[in-house]
């Protein structure tokens, strides 16, 4: 019985009778052109993306010229009264000076340093150690590069009023010890959490090396100044704000109000000199 051999497979296509037949030269030419086109498309260089738009220029920041050489004592802390440190709510001055203070350190906002430097202001930072932990370098930069001062706001931010002496002493001394180790200077000012204190607080703070307990007259929250009385800043006002997500809005609101009312922010420590 004779064997029938099929034509080679290469360059062929199936015919109607099941055998393979050669491709026509025209069809082979078209296939080659298509293959070359695909290869060229795959190997073509990808055009570079368009350049990113330039970042917007920094927003303008109100700035204040120092009315004297900052760091020069202007007034001393009042003396203790029977072993109890004085409570300071405002500074007695006839000059148009106000004092910005920032509490706790809970949200170390990345824009704070630039804002302080550009406005030429030197705030007082009443820091709580549990919030400072893990961000000590951040607050050191605020001190070293912007002239801020680090003061005491306890270890863990409890309500101290009514607490035993031992508890209050630990909260205040613990924070002072930590800041002295980390920053090389022991705090001389103390702000009690929530503004709550008693005579035990004043005695414990004195025993920890604190020289004055500092409260406030106005606050800044959510980008707006809040007044206890009136609608204007007055000489000697102490303003309270916090390290929050709204830091830029709050600090800017204070700067704008100080400028509007003809006040100049100056360092609190210059008027509560030890």
Question: What is the C-alpha separation between 220 and 99, in angstroms, rounded?
Answer: 13
What confidence score (pLDDT) does residue 198 get? 99
* pTM assigned to the model: 0.79
Q: Please state the rounded mean pLDDT for residues 211-222.
A: 98
User: Does residue 157 lie in a domain region?
Assistant: yes
What confidence score (pLDDT) does residue 27 get? 55
Instruction: Tell me how many domains the chain contains.
Output: 1
Q: Please state the rounded mean pLDDT for residues 125-146.
A: 98
Which domain covers residue 150, as residue numbers? Answer: 87-270
User: Does residue 80 lie in a domain region?
Assistant: no
Q: How many CB atoms lie within 10 A of CB 3?
A: 4
Q: Residue 6 pLDDT > 80, yes or no? A: no
The token duo for 271 is 């008027």
User: Does residue 263 lie in a domain region?
Assistant: yes
Q: Is the dihedral of CA 125, 272, 64, 98 positive or negative?
A: positive
What confidence score (pLDDT) does residue 185 get? 97
pLDDT digits 0-9 by tens, 41-84? 445 566 666 665 655 555 678 999 999 999 999 999 998 999 99
What CATH number does residue 233 fall under? Answer: 3.20.20.370
Question: What is the C-alpha separation between 212 and 50, in angstroms, rounded?
Answer: 59
Question: What integer best gives the mean pLDDT of the chain?
Answer: 87
Give which of 139, 129, 87, 133 is closest to 104, Cα–Cα. 129
Place of tokens 């004043």: 202
User: Does residue 185 lie in a domain region?
Assistant: yes
User: Does residue 49 lie in a domain region?
Assistant: no
pLDDT digits 0-9 by tens, 149-207? 999 999 999 999 999 999 999 999 999 999 999 999 999 999 999 999 999 999 999 99
What confidence score (pLDDT) does residue 51 get? 60
Give me the DSSP letters along 83-140. Answer: TBPPEESS---SSSEEEEEEEE-SS--TTHHHHHHHHT---EEEE-HHHHTT-HHHHH
Question: What is the C-alpha separation between 7 and 163, in angstroms, rounded?
Answer: 103
Give which of 87, 270, 99 is closest to 195, Cα–Cα. 87
User: Does residue 37 lie in a domain region?
Assistant: no
Q: Residue 1 pLDDT > 60, yes or no? A: no
What confidence score (pLDDT) does residue 45 get? 60
Residues present in the chain in total: 274
User: Does residue 96 lie in a domain region?
Assistant: yes
User: Does residue 213 lie in a domain region?
Assistant: yes
Q: Is-contact 127 153, C-beta < 8 A?
A: yes
Q: How many CB atoms lie within 10 A of CB 261?
A: 16
Q: How far is CA 242 from CA 32, 131, 145, in A?
A: 73, 12, 20
């Amino acid at each position: 019985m004779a064997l029938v051999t099929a034509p080679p497979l290469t360059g062929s296509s199936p015919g109607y009778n099941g055998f393979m037949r050669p491709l026509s030269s025209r069809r082979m030419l078209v296939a080659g052109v298509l293959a070359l086109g695909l290869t060229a498309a795959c190997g073509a260089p990808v055009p570079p993306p368009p350049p990113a738009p330039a970042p917007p220029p920094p927003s303008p920041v109100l700035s204040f010229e120092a009315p004297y050489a900052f760091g020069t004592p202007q007034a001393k802390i009042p003396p203790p009264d029977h072993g109890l440190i004085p409570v300071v709510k405002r500074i007695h001055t006839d000059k148009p000076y106000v004092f910005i203070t920032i509490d706790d350190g809970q949200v170390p906002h990345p824009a704070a340093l630039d804002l302080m430097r550009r406005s030429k202001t030197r705030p007082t930072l009443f820091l709580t150690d549990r919030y400072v932990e893990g961000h000590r370098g951040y607050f050191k930069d605020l001190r070293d590069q912007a002239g801020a001062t680090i003061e005491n706001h306890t270890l863990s931010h409890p309500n101290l009023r009514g607490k035993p002496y031992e508890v209050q002493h630990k909260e205040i001394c613990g924070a002072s010890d930590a800041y002295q180790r980390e920053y090389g200077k022991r705090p001389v000012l103390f702000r009690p959490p929530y503004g709550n204190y008693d005579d035990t607080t004043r005695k414990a703070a004195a025993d920890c090396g604190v020289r004055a307990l500092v409260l406030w007259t106005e606050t800044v929250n959510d980008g707006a100044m809040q007044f206890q009385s009136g609608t204007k800043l007055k000489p000697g006002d102490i303003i309270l704000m916090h390290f929050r997500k709204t830091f830029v809005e709050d600090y800017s609101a204070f700067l704008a109000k100080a400028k509007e009312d003809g006040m100049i922010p100056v360092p609190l420590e210059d008027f509560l000199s030890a």
